[in-house]
Amino acid sequence: MKIFPIYVVWEKLLGEIFGGIYFYAVKLYNDTHGGDRMLDEIDYQILCCLKENARENATNIGAKINLSTSAVIERIKKLESSGIIEQYTTLISQRALGRDLTAFISIRLEHPKYYEEFVKSIHENASITECYYIAGDFDFIVKVVTGNGKTLESILNYIKSISGVSLTRTSVVLSTNKRDVCMLPNRETDWT
């Protein structure tokens, strides 16, 4: 059984009794007892709602989690200002746009001096949707989303033409079995 600090229990009790008024009491407690608290169950529920639909309004979220609209708005603002919520975005179906081919390309550079030029070149190609600097046999791995083998060949030639690229290895995606663009916090480690 998870043991909650007294202010979390107090917050939940006040939330049930007074709706949104309790948030001020928790903020006051945190301000006078050592700073910001970590995530709690209510924050987690709000994040779950926003993960499913980032355009969900605070009134609907409040109705789902039994919290006042103003309390939901205040909590969302706090999640934004703390950096837990980085941005809101739209997922665009690449398949609907005719981009049916996804590939991961591992890239090795000759020398670290080519790092900045390589990253700049990667940013200039819109078909390269993600780029990671990695440890291991390669220096980078990029995700490419494109229409067909011919355009993948063109992108691969573009990457190979970047100064310092010494080796590439391409893996073509046959099917996507999991695609989770937003990871929710871990209940065991990310809050009190």
The Cα–Cα gap between 172 and 95 comes to 15
More confident residue, 123 or 93: 123
To which H or E segment does residue 7 belong? helix 6-18
- Contact between residue 23 and residue 67 where contact means Cβ atoms under 8 Å apart: no
Q: Which three-class secondary structure state does DSSP give residue 186?
A: coil
pTM exceeding the 0.85 threshold for the entire prediction: no
- Distance CA(126)–CA(150), nearest Å, equals 16
Tens of pLDDT, residue by residue over 33-81, are 334 557 889 999 999 999 889 999 999 999 999 999 999 999 999 999 9
pLDDT in tens, 78-122: 999 999 898 888 887 788 887 889 999 999 999 999 999 999 999
Instruction: Categorize the per-residue pLDDT at 173 as very low, low, confident or very high, splitting at 50, 70 and 90.
Output: very high
Contacts of 38 (CB under 8 A, 6+ apart): 190, 191, 192
Q: What is the pLDDT of residue 174?
A: 94
Contact 59, 69 (CB under 8 A): yes
Architecture of domain 101-172: 2-Layer Sandwich (3.30)
Tokens of 59: 């009134």
Does an H or E element contain 64, and which? helix 58-65
Helix or strand run (H / E) with residue 143: strand 140-146
Sorted by where each begins, the domain ranges of the chain are: 6-81, 101-172
